[in-house]
Every structure is written in structure tokens, then in C-alpha cells.
Amino acid sequence: MTTRVVLARSLRPAVRRATGVRALGTPRAFTSYNGPVAGLTPEQEEFRDNVANFAQKEIAPRAAEIDKKNKMPADLFPKMGDMGLLGVTVPEELGGLGLGYLEHTIAMEEISRASASVGLSYGAHSNLMVNQLRRNGSEPQIAKYLPKLLTGEHVGSLAMSEPNAGSDVVSMRTRAELDKSHDKYIMNGSKCWITNSPIASTFLIYAKSEKDAKPSKAITAFLVEKGMPGFTVGEPLDKFGSPPPSATIAASNQLTVTPLFQMRGSPTAEIFFDNVEVPAENVIGGVGNGAKVLMSGLDYERLVLSGGPLGIMQAALDMTLGYTHEREQFGQKIGTFQLMQGKLADMYTKLSASRAYVYAVARAADAGKVSREDCAGAILYVSDRCVEVAMDAQQCFGGNGYINDYEVGRLLRDSRLYTVGAGTQEIRRALIGRMFNEAIAKGQDHL
């Protein structure tokens, strides 16, 4: 029987308790996670436990290999599909779990705790692609594309950024011109830093389609399929920290130094469009509404992706707690030294404060009160704290923290992604400041 993530009693009336649920995974090592403080309902705790058990069994044991080989295992997306994790916010009648953004964020957290690389690809697929299709797609588009995205047979990818249009997305140069036949668009241009692009089958592409329109009405969103003539995916990008994946550096003693990247295993590449014919029926959200589709999705993107840093922090703290209570110096466990206790306490409180903020924003979103400044604020706050916690973890490991036999170094490398991905920290701060300015200029007494 297909295993599904289920709840004993759903927050959504339409969600039923499925039968035949089995617990996955073996008992985990000591964790600092505090359920009552997280404020989850019993149903949400059960959801979290099921996702955690799945991730610790199916993903965590392979995390080091994924990082070393820089390759996403082909079976992981179908397995996440079997669990229902690829459609957390998709209604049951469409094949999803019909749950909320809090559960989606929890899933992102637990998968990222097992492997940040898998978590990043999961978030790009389940939120940036699936959730956007669910929110903006037409019935025919949903019927055509959603089923295989939910099972994991197809992987999804969103393409927005370009070499000269990262944070300034409306300056994109990729164009889609309506053909004289009026039944297709001709797309030309390129996109860069596109997560999942080397393994994706379905892409959500943003391109300028309206020449004379103002910037907010010039962009249209399109569904583009792998294999369309003229659509190509480049080689995976060389990421922060080292030479290309195939390179090794010869040392004087004939040993080799293995290259290191952040988010290895989460494939990222450039994509190119050379007179790609995109059917007019593949426009999603309406012609000229691409900016609206994009901006509305960014709030949910920032919120759900905030679970990534939470998972990295939880993994870093749990690894550090285990290590500091095994490693001995001066005849005692290093975790019993007062200075080390202080560092562990700081890591724990940073994680706990981050989780409280993210979960609060997710609960508000589920109540229909999406806060743009707080979606930006959540990922801003947790991303900075994540880097700090990962650095503290590496410091607690001493010299071993710089050795690849210990996974804590990978967590530090991966933590840096969230300070630039899904918008830089500077853009997030600017957005929050602008929200204050606009509210005050309008004479509002609160945001």
C-alpha cells in the first residue's frame, strides 16, 4: 500500500484519515527539538513525526553521498510523491494532502534537516512549481501537468532570474512574442541560477510578452516542457567554494583534494530559449499578469523556504550536542565546559526564536493573512541565524569541523545559500523598510 503522510484529525475538513499508515525509520539520536514550545497541534506533531521518520530513513543516510557525488538520486522525488509531500497545499480532490503552509514549512524543515540539498530541490518543486500551478493554473493546465508533478514522475522548476535581472526581475530580457497565428508564442533568451533545471520536465518561465506595456503588465508566465525544440539546459553551474565538480587538485604527496560546493546534489544550471514555440494555451495566470503571479508567489516562497534554514540549524545543533558529549579533553566531556555550554545555549535559543517567528507567519498565512513584510522578515531572520548557528557548530567541532568525515562542514556551506537565494538579504531588508515607508505615507497607524 502506498504510504502517505496523514494526520489523525485534519485542520482541513476535507482531509480524511487514511488507513494503513506505517511509521518509517528507526529511533533517532538525541534532539533538542521541543514540541510543546513549537506550539503544534497533536495532528501537526504527527505530521512532523511522519515526515521526520521518512527523511531520516530515506534521505539522511544518503546525504553525505549526495554531497560527495553532487547528484540527486532519481528515486527520491517518487518516494516523496508516495508520501504525499509534493502536494502538501494541493486540495485532496486534485491529489494532494489539502493542508496548509505551516505543514508545508514543517515538511521543508524536516527534509532540509536530513539534507539541505534535497530540501532546496524539494522546495523549488513543491512550492515554486506545484503551488504556483495550483494557485494560478487553468483546469486544463492542472489536469495536464499536476498529476505527474505530485507523484514525482516529473520534477518542476521555476525560472525567473537572468544574468542582468536578479533582484531587479522586471528588467528581464527573455521575450515571448505572439506569433501571427495567435496560437503560440516564440520565446528567446536565457535564465540563470535555475534550481532543478538539469532534472526538470516542467518549467514555469517568466518572459516579457507585451512590448508597450508598463513594467508591471509586460511580463507573462508560461508553462514550458523539456524537449520543446530550441529549449536547452546548460551544464550544472560551479557553485561557491571550489573548482568544477570534475576537478581534483593534485598535492605534492599525490593525494587529491576533492572540490567542495554549497547545496551539492541540488542541480542548478542556465537554460536557453532559441525560437521556442510555446502554445498560447500554456500561458498561466493570463497575458500580462506575470508580475502579479510572480509577486504573489514570492510571499509563499519566502515563507516555505524559511523551513530550510530551520532544518539546517536543527541538524547542526543536534550534531553538536552529540559530539560535545562524546569528545573528551582534560579528562571530561567538552560539552560540560561552561564556555561550550554557553555556545550550545546560544545555538538553541537562536533556533527556537527562528522557529517561533516562522511558524507564526505560517499560521497567519493559513488564516488568510499573508504578511509580505513578515514573509520577507522570516527568511531574513532565519537565514542570518542559520549561518551563525552553523559557524558555531563547526567551531565546537574544532579541527574536525574542517574535515569532510564530519558533516557539520557541509551544513555551514549549505547555510550560505539562503542569504542570497530567493532574494538577497539586502533586498529583504529593503522590502521591509519600503513597507514601513508606504504605510506611514498613507497615514496608516500600523502595517
CA distance 246 to 266: 16
| Per-residue pLDDT, 33 | 83
With a CB cutoff of 8 Å and minimum separation 6, the contacts of 426 are 167
| Per-residue pLDDT, 393 | 96
| Per-residue pLDDT, 211 | 83
Domains and CATH numbers, the chain: 35-155 (1.10.540.10), 159-286 (2.40.110.10), 294-441 (1.20.140.10)
**CB contact at 8 A, 257 and 249:** yes
From the list 58, 109, 270, 301, the catalytic residue is: 301
What are the cell numbers at 55?
527523511
- b/e for 6-45, b at 16 or more Cβ within 10 A? bbeebbeeebeeeeebeebeeeeeeeebeeeeeebeebbb
What are the cell numbers at 202?
516542467
Going from the first residue of the chain to its last (447 residues), give the mean pLDDT of each consecutive group of 10, the final group possibly shorter.
42 30 39 84 95 96 90 94 97 96 98 96 96 96 98 95 72 89 93 91 94 84 96 74 41 35 78 96 95 89 97 96 93 94 97 97 96 94 97 94 89 92 87 91 86
CA distance 309 to 411: 10
DSSP secondary structure code for residue 400 in this structure: G
Strands (E), 111-218: 156-159, 175-178, 184-195, 202-208
**CB contact at 8 A, 268 and 300:** no
CA distance 111 to 378: 19
| Per-residue pLDDT, 166 | 59
The position carrying cell 480532490 is 93
Closest CA to 420 of 384, 393, 394, 388: 384
CA distance 328 to 354: 31
The position carrying cell 497541534 is 41
Is-above-0.85 flag for pTM? yes
CA distance 357 to 108: 16
Would you call 438 a catalytic residue per the annotation? Answer: no
The β-bridge relationship of strands 219-225 and 328-329 is unpaired
**CB contact at 8 A, 358 and 371:** no
| Per-residue pLDDT, 4 | 53
CA distance 151 to 149: 6
